[in-house]
Chains A and B, each alone.
Chain A
Amino acid sequence: TQLLEQSPQFLSIQEGENLTVYCNSSSVFSSLQWYRQEPGEGPVLLVTVVTGGEVKKLKRLTFQFGDARKDSSLHITAAQPGDTGLYLCAGGGSQGNLIFGKGTKLSVKP
């Protein structure tokens, strides 16, 4: 069974701080996706990483895919209150579905 474990589960920081969220698995994934979900809304895709060792940047967000394609990280520089939300990593399952981690709930206080 493919599982994705995310850490930390909760993160509360002050505006301007940096943070890193981790997504780990014992299985190899052909790609991993990162989503952000706000309360009362569905997840919104941030990025897809495909190649082992790949690094993608989206403004203050940096995403990295592990060399072995079993893990990924999301680094946020100078966090802002607007970054508050649930961050989910997801990988492809055997039925064309997505397997999600449990998420990291981020709260950025002004």
Chain B
Amino acid sequence: DAGVTQSPTHLIKTRGQHVTLRCSPISGHKSVSWYQQVLGQGPQFIFQYYEKEERGRGNFPDRFSARQFPNYSSELNVNALLLGDSALYLCASSPGLGVANEKLFFGSGTQLSVL
């Protein structure tokens, strides 16, 4: 079975542009979470979606938005890109709500560079 797939793998944008990142969860998983990992840091929580509804949001500005589709895939959108948005964006899926003891399966991420 395919794992969590993310596209694109790499992306270069300039300041002020917007970007859309895509994620397909493992088949049967209903929860998708997004994390931002800046170089040298651990991943930071951005959003969690379960059954197409937002269930959690981290401390990120409104320039960040996301949605989940009926097939449980998800998009992360970032508007008005800043240099500081350069990071590895990770998507993770889980069968349920992804509470602390539940195993998260991470994709390989999208490496975003903002110039």
Contact = CB atoms under 8 A, between A and B. Distances in A.
A40 B107 CA distance: 10
A96 B42 contact: no
A30 interface: yes
Contacts of A98: 35, 43, 45, 100, 104
Interface residues of A, number: 26
Nearest to A50: B101
Interface in A19-49: 29-31, 40-45, 48
B45 A97 contact: yes
B43 A31 contact: no
Contact of B100 (A29, A42, A103): A29
Given A40-B108, A42-B92, A44-B106, A95 B56 contact: yes
A40 B45 CA distance: 19
Interface in B40-88: 40-45, 48, 55-58
Contacts of A99: 45
Interface residues of B, number: 29
B33 A42 contact: no
Contact of B43 (A41, A50, A96, A100): A100
A44 to B, nearest CB: 7
Contacts of B58: 95, 97
Contacts of B2: none
A88 B42 CA distance: 7
Contacts of A50: 101
A41 B33 CA distance: 16
7 contacts: A44-B106, A45-B103, A88-B43, A96-B100, A97-B45, A97-B56, A99-B45
